[in-house]
Structure 1
């Protein structure tokens, strides 16, 4: 019995030793990823938070001082240069996020329903053509639209001139510039939502539509009670991060309008600047790294809160019983 007990204790020690070896081996395998995340993600994030509590700028680059919550209080203080830019930019960012993403989703859903119709013989051709805006790099598409929408030599105004319609200041007037950004973002984003909606539509059993047609329902009723609920359930987990991505969509603002037209009240943000592009402009054009870091931290917190609220109230990632 003692021999059996000693053998059992030896096996347990060997098993524990092997488990430790496996654990250390696992740490070795994931260490490059952890190191990369620390250097490229966590370290810059903590450094940005640290800068937001200082007066780090071009004038105070080496002799900066710790100012505490002064920069954050300045966001909501009267006659503060940052607060004058922050409030209108925040309002436009929220409007742009909601209108643009919702419009992209609805247009993608409608086009998916049209090309999913079995009676449409050229459905495959239309699907291919509608995917092209997604296949072209966004950088090339955005710069192309910048040329098309130019007030003086753009092809769109040249086409309007043929119908004796005056030239429209697509990128020069504040209202038209904002409409242009929403329309260009629609061109870039609707193929994604169309593809998602197509996948959801093809998963709906045809028997549901057959039963509804026998009951004498209208096409609108079938869309309301069958199509939209099924597509919404599938696409909602992808729609939530789309709102967060649009909230932080720096590329289209920077490439299409550069944040312009300029505001008369502040230089930190133009009429089409969102919080992300305004933060970039404050850092690289005005060298106010402290204010840019403050705005970046606020932007990060807002995106996190919006995502948590959406996930909580929609139960998008809640497991089914």
Structure 2
């Protein structure tokens, strides 16, 4: 009873296309045989070397060898071996997926034959693919691009955290890179020279993310409520004025702000001096530098929240406010019972996104303070550095790639965990009624 499906499945396991040939799908079978032949030609000389490169990261440090009568430097480049190995293994994973799909296709066709049906012709298969599977077919190329341009670099960054890839002792090709397991994480969290910096920067990152999110969100809410009042005239003008800081590229506005807050030559301290107030060390004192980045972030971030909340306010049914007026509700009661629940329901996902974005808010910190002022007891970090800017310094200026990768993994775990947890607890996720 199951003769066709069993035979087709066994043959397709032995070789791609054999099951299709058995099912009398000759053109499809020939194409799959060609795919397997191409795969064998590609993988036979490469797969073993790729696995060896990923597992060992090379075994020949830089040395001189005599090649063609000349002494030339020869070495295994650990990072190139890792990258090349990952590429080959990802292509092999795609090949395995095609192989499994080939087996499933042969089984389904054989089952159809056992039930008395005729195998689909190549023309029928193409028609079905272009009709029913067209979205998947169209997404194939972007999917492959994401696999190699997004997923592979992420895998690469994760793997580097488990190596000793860092200056000055393990930078190829002069030196080999080795797998060290969780040693990098252990050093980051327990070794005093690193752990003191990590916990200090991590604490400031959390404080910064909370303050930056709260100030920009509720600042935008306040501005939106003021503009939305009936007695306010020229509302379009006010909206335009408040959106200007966001419309200007951050690179320009933040560099201008950096000059404005300059302790010696900045206009802000000069204006304070005119009133006899004296200047403040806006960017050179650790406390005032943190205050400065929070204030500047409010300038940049409040317009975004304002525009978002203005859109929500226009969607709130006016009859709710009319009913509240009839019941004698005060403006504060209407704000608490009607406005805030609607606004928070609609903007909760965006609020969570803003919090996650502020944890990784590279632009404000890097362009305004560059993470400074310097702290002598910190390892390559300043008083205003976030984890993401510290990661940047470790990578681009100190070549501590393994430590930077470990920090990147921790950032991802923190952001993903907090975002998922807070979003699942929000009413937007639960789809509850906004008015309880």
TM-score w.r.t. the length of structure 2 is 0.68
Question: Contact 1:82–1:291 at 8 Å: present in 2 too?
Answer: no
Partner of 1:3: none
Give yes or no for the alignment of 1:60 onto 2:173.
no
**Aligned ranges 1:122-161 → 2 under 5 Å:** 122-161=234-273
Q: Which of 158, 162, 165 is residue 274 of structure 2 equivalent to?
A: 162
Partner of 2:390: 278
Structure 1 residue 214: deviation in Å?
Answer: 2.2
- Go from structure 1 to structure 2 and tell me whether the alpha carbon gap of 1:207 and 1:52 turns closer, same or farther (over 3 Å shift): same
SS at match of 2:139: helix
Partner of 1:46: 155
Once the two structures are superposed, what CA deviation does each residue of 1:163-185 show, in whole Å capped at 9, x if it has no partner? 01111010000010001111111
Q: Distance in 2 between matches of 1:103 and 1:201?
A: 19
Q: Distance in 2 between matches of 1:15 and 1:236?
A: 48
Question: Contact 2:194–2:379 at 8 Å: present in 1 too?
Answer: no
Structure 1 residue 16: deviation in Å?
Answer: 5.2
Give yes or no for the alignment of 1:20 onto 2:20.
no
Partner of 2:182: 69
Structure 1 residue 15: deviation in Å?
Answer: 5.2
Q: Distance in 1 between matches of 2:395 and 2:118?
A: 63
Q: Distance in 2 between matches of 1:211 and 1:165?
A: 51
Partner of 1:176: 288
**Aligned ranges 1:190-229 → 2 under 5 Å:** 190-229=302-341
Once the two structures are superposed, what CA deviation does each residue of 1:116-165 show, in whole Å capped at 9, x if it has no partner? 11221121111110110111111111111001000011111111111011
- Go from structure 1 to structure 2 and tell me whether the alpha carbon gap of 1:47 and 1:213 turns closer, same or farther (over 3 Å shift): same
Q: Distance in 1 between matches of 2:180 and 2:209?
A: 33
In structure 2, stretches of 5+ residues that fail to align are 1-115
Partner of 2:377: 265
Structure 1 residue 78: deviation in Å?
Answer: 4.1
State which structure, 1 or 2, has the greater radius of gyration over its C-alpha atoms.
Answer: 2
Structure 1 residue 68: deviation in Å?
Answer: 0.4
SS at match of 1:185: helix
Structure 1 residue 23: deviation in Å?
Answer: 6.2
In structure 1, stretches of 5+ residues that fail to align are 1-7
Q: Distance in 2 between matches of 1:198 and 1:209?
A: 16
Partner of 2:415: 303
- Go from structure 1 to structure 2 and tell me whether the alpha carbon gap of 1:24 and 1:209 turns closer, same or farther (over 3 Å shift): closer
Q: Aligned pair count? A: 313
Structure 1 residue 316: deviation in Å?
Answer: 2.9
Q: CA RMSD in A?
A: 2.0
Specify which structure has the bigger relative contact order, considering alpha-carbon pairs within 8 angstroms and separated by 6 or more residues: 1
Q: Distance in 1 between matches of 2:379 and 2:191?
A: 16
Question: Contact 1:82–1:268 at 8 Å: present in 2 too?
Answer: no
Partner of 1:5: none
Question: Contact 1:157–1:167 at 8 Å: present in 2 too?
Answer: yes
SS at match of 2:428: coil
Q: Distance in 2 between matches of 1:305 and 1:220?
A: 35
Q: Distance in 2 between matches of 1:206 and 1:24?
A: 46
TM-score w.r.t. the length of structure 1 is 0.92
SS at match of 2:190: coil
Q: Distance in 2 between matches of 1:34 and 1:142?
A: 36
